[in-house]
Amino acid sequence: MKIKDEVAKRKTFAIISHPDAGKTTLTEKLLLYGNLIRSAGTVKGKKSGKFATSDWMEIEKQRGISVTSSVMNFPYKDFQVNILDTPGHEDFSEDTYRTLTAVDSVVMIIDSVKGIEAQTIKLFKVCRMRGIPIFTFINKLDREGREPLELLEEIEEVLEIETYPMNWPAGMGKRFLGIFDRYNHQFIKFNGNEAETHIPLSEIEGFEELITKEEFVAASDELDLLNEAGNQFSLEAVLRGEQTPVFFGSAIAPFGVQDFFDTFITLAPTPGPRKATEGIVAPDDPDFSGFIFKIQANMNPAHRDRIAFVRICSGKFERGMSVKLSRTGKVFKLAQSQQIVASSRDTIDEAYAGDIIGIYDPNAYQIGDTLIEGKANFEFDELPKFPPELFKKVMAKNVMKSKQFKKGIEQLVQEGAIQLFKDKRTESYILGAVGELQYEVFKYRMENEYNVEVLFEQIGERIPRWLKTEQVKESLFDDRNLLVRDRNDNYLVLFRNEFSLNWFKDNHKEIDLIDLFEVNSYG
């Protein structure tokens, strides 16, 4: 019974956005509501643009474990909240994608001035292929942004998801009056620097000055139209990932943020069952189980420890418990466990399905590994592979070291740190990654753990498309559209750009080009 109650409190989600949309600002407000920090401005040092300030963060920086790996965990109302950060900027990597396999829902922030941007689309695609429920926060209403209807249209068209505005803004920028909260039947009035006021719609007639304003009347008319002809709210559709509830607000003011959070946290799903090789694993199953979605290697040679991030899928974690690594059958004692929080790093004694814990990795774990308690034997579904975007040729600086070079690459690739391909003609090694950071980590670890200096030769951004083996025709490809083999000997083409890809599609309709994002959604 206890486990079931604990699981029912868990809300585990990630916030996704394009850099500068306001992820840090919004996260900070949520941490304030959760009493995790005392004042705004502590999460991100504005000058460096990096997370900074607290001692813990300084230590983390020195030790090379980036704070961007953080999981923020705090109680809020009746809930236990886990927010997973999805590193953007120069830290964007496969880990960012993999983080999304560990959450139950996602908050997508969109800048009301800029609309949908590149990184949002990429992260959205991953949510879509996993069927993760997505809640949208359209930020920066205090600025002159695009028309709300236009923004909704863009979401529906570009992301192909139905929208349901949970609230509706009256004016924006300097003429911003506030929002109609459709869900709670109230008007939230914007008062500039002063705290917002909540007016039940049944009492709005008393606010003569407000309701006669042009922006109020216009928004009210639009709302009538939405009520009549717009989409119906459907929580079922939201939970299936087919409809996104849209909230307007301003993270910095803050305006509408706490109302958004209260509604979101109520509607967001609690941990559900997860697919495994032996069937479905229920979150309230008494035996502990979980999977590793990320391994953070320490870049400081004086502290060679690594931390594995585990998403608990069932049961209860207790410090000191023994678990079995399904892949090898070996048993490990989980003695050092950490919960990673933005402001402190505490050892935790217990955790439940839905929670994320960091455990000490005795160099035994791999990304995607399943850990289980008890007699059962199963593995959770393999983590999806994500299409790399950035490619480089790699070689050992000293040819005498080719043995260590191969061993190092093999292990790092196995671990999921980076992807490896081979040129079809020259057999040279090509690495593929989602972001530049992966190359830096790779180079560093090759030098420090395998004692091999590596050289890169830039290939650049490419668009990978997999081929069906029987359709491979070497003559069709050259250095521009490079034919390579992945680790499982499947062929793919690295197209130079969107133009080459489309040209190829038009001229070789007989050849199927497979996008990894699409493959995963059918898998």
374 in contact with ligand GDP (CB under 6 A): no
CB atoms under 10 Å from CB of 113, counted, come to 16
Half-sphere exposure of 496 (CA within 13 A, CB side): 9
Q: Using the rule CB under 6 A, which residue among 3, 7, 11, 25 binds ligand GDP? A: 25
88 is in an annotated binding site: yes
114 in contact with ligand GDP (CB under 6 A): no
CB of 184 to ligand GDP, least distance (A): 21
Which residue has tokens 């260590």? 404
Interface segment toward ligand GDP; rule CB under 6 A; list 4-12, 16-24, 272-280, 302-310: 16-24
Which residue, among 12, 1, 3, 6, has the nearest Cα to 354 in the 3D structure?
12
337 in contact with ligand GDP (CB under 6 A): no
355 is in an annotated binding site: no
139 is in an annotated binding site: yes
CB of 133 to ligand GDP, least distance (A): 21
Per-residue x/- track, 246-265, ligand GDP (CB under 6 A): ----xxx-------------
Q: Using the rule CB under 6 A, which residue among 10, 29, 122, 140 binds ligand GDP? A: 140
290 is in an annotated binding site: no
Which is closer to ligand GDP, CB of 84 or CB of 383? 84
CB of 522 to ligand GDP, least distance (A): 32
Q: Which residues make beta-bridge pairs with 361?
A: 306
19 is in an annotated binding site: yes
- How many Å apart are CA 111 and CA 7, to the nearest integer? 33
φ, ψ (nearest 5 deg) of residue 354: 105, -30
Distances (CA, A) of 297 to 218, 292, 301, 307, 438: 55, 14, 10, 7, 12
Count the site residues for ligand GDP by CB under 6 A: 16
* Tokens, residue 79: 């809930």
Interface segment toward ligand GDP; rule CB under 6 A; list 135-143, 199-207, 229-237, 294-302: 135-143
27 is in an annotated binding site: no
- How many Å apart are CA 243 and CA 231, to the nearest integer? 9
19 in contact with ligand GDP (CB under 6 A): yes
- How many Å apart are CA 414 and CA 490, to the nearest integer? 17
Cβ(453)–Cβ(397) below 8 Å: yes
Q: Which residues make beta-bridge pairs with 393?
A: 430, 457
Interface segment toward ligand GDP; rule CB under 6 A; list 22-30, 161-169, 209-217, 305-313: 22-30
CB of 46 to ligand GDP, least distance (A): 7
Count helices and strands (H / E) in the chain: 14, 30
CB of 443 to ligand GDP, least distance (A): 26
Half-sphere exposure of 155 (CA within 13 A, CB side): 28
21 in contact with ligand GDP (CB under 6 A): yes
Interface segment toward ligand GDP; rule CB under 6 A; list 63-71, 154-162, 244-252, 495-503: 244-252
130 in contact with ligand GDP (CB under 6 A): no
Query: At residue 92, what is the residue type?
Result: F
Pairing of strands 71-76, 322-325: unpaired
112 in contact with ligand GDP (CB under 6 A): no
Pairing of strands 105-111, 134-139: parallel
- How many Å apart are CA 179 and CA 196, to the nearest integer? 10
196 in contact with ligand GDP (CB under 6 A): no
Pairing of strands 243-248, 134-139: parallel
CB of 433 to ligand GDP, least distance (A): 21
Per-residue x/- track, 27-66, ligand GDP (CB under 6 A): -----------------x----------------------
143 in contact with ligand GDP (CB under 6 A): yes
CB of 397 to ligand GDP, least distance (A): 36
Distances (CA, A) of 434 to 21, 123, 265, 356, 419: 20, 12, 31, 24, 9
Which residue, among 62, 86, 54, 94, has the nearest Cα to 384 in the 3D structure?
94
Which is closer to ligand GDP, CB of 118 or CB of 399? 118
User: Per DSSP, which regions of 298-418 are E strands?
Assistant: 306-314, 316-318, 322-325, 331-333, 337-340, 345-347, 350-352, 356-361, 370-372, 390-396
CB of 432 to ligand GDP, least distance (A): 26
22 in contact with ligand GDP (CB under 6 A): yes
Which residue has tokens 């949309």? 21
Q: Using the rule CB under 6 A, which residue among 6, 85, 95, 142 binds ligand GDP? A: 142
Half-sphere exposure of 376 (CA within 13 A, CB side): 21
24 in contact with ligand GDP (CB under 6 A): yes
85 in contact with ligand GDP (CB under 6 A): no
Which is closer to ligand GDP, CB of 90 or CB of 423? 90
286 is in an annotated binding site: no
89 is in an annotated binding site: yes
Which is closer to ligand GDP, CB of 139 or CB of 244? 139
17 in contact with ligand GDP (CB under 6 A): yes
Buried b (16+ CB within 10 A) or exposed e, 287-320: ebbbbbbbbbbebeeeeeebbbbbbbbbbbbebe
Residues contacting residue 132 through CB under 8 Å, at least 6 positions apart: 100, 103, 104, 105, 106, 241
CB of 508 to ligand GDP, least distance (A): 40
* Residue numbering of the annotated binding site for GTP: 17-24, 85-89, 139-142
Q: Which residues bind ligand GDP (CB under 6 A)?
A: 17, 19-25, 44, 139-140, 142-143, 250-252
